[in-house]
Amino acid sequence: MAFVGFEESHEVRQLAKSLIDEHHPHLKDAIEHIGFYIREGSSKWAGKAKKCTAFERHMTDYMLFVFVNKESWKAMNKKQRAALVDHELCHFTRVKWEEPDPKDARNWITVYGPADDPDSWGIREHDVEEFSEIIERHGLWDTGIESFAAVVREADHQLNIDDVNRITRVK
Ligand SMILES: [Zn+2]
């Protein structure tokens, strides 16, 4: 049987921390509840996000996991690594509601479910999903994919077919 190994990664955690500070307010107080692991062994994906089962919580004390494939990680540059980890963090959702600000009742603030309560956490699927060969053959044919492309155009780079292949390999 092919070897599979897991190692907690300080490097991935540090990168996630800076991405959370900038883009994921719902994860700010939850970073210690997320386990970041490099997975050694062949896999079809570059990264994976998952909500822990009760047994995984028991074993690790984490609520959520991010896995990164070791080979992919080694092959990626700094920007690609940031995109991968940012992508995985986008899969995590958290229960939230609006409440009047105790400091100023005219304002409403967003309150999140407790970080240590499993019921606070969920996983969301991609906004856009498509086979790379369909994009290769037909371009960005669907309206959902067009709005995705608009976001990509706003981002500071072109979506070339290598990017598409890479994005579709990410889980
Ligand atoms: Zn994904």
Say yes or no: 62 and 135 in one domain.
no
- Measure 91 CA to ligand 1 centroid, in angstroms: 6
- Measure 99 CA to ligand 1 centroid, in angstroms: 31
Tell me the pLDDT of the chain averaged across its residues. 86
Q: Identify the pLDDT of residue 128.
A: 72
Q: Identify the pLDDT of residue 2.
A: 83
Say yes or no: 87 and 141 in one domain.
no
- Measure 53 CA to ligand 1 centroid, in angstroms: 19
| Enclosing domain of residue 49 | 1-124
Q: Identify the pLDDT of residue 158.
A: 46
Sign of CA dihedral 15, 40, 162, 88: negative
pLDDT in tens, 23-70: 999 999 999 999 999 999 988 889 999 999 999 999 999 999 999 999
Contact predicate 94/64, CB 8 Å: no
Q: Where are the alpha helices (DSSP H) in 24-131?
A: 54-60, 70-75, 78-90
pLDDT in tens, 79-90: 889 999 999 999
- We report the CATH number of the domain holding residue 87 as 3.30.2010
Say yes or no: 41 and 102 in one domain.
yes
Say yes or no: 74 and 132 in one domain.
no
What's the number of domains the chain is made of?
Answer: 2
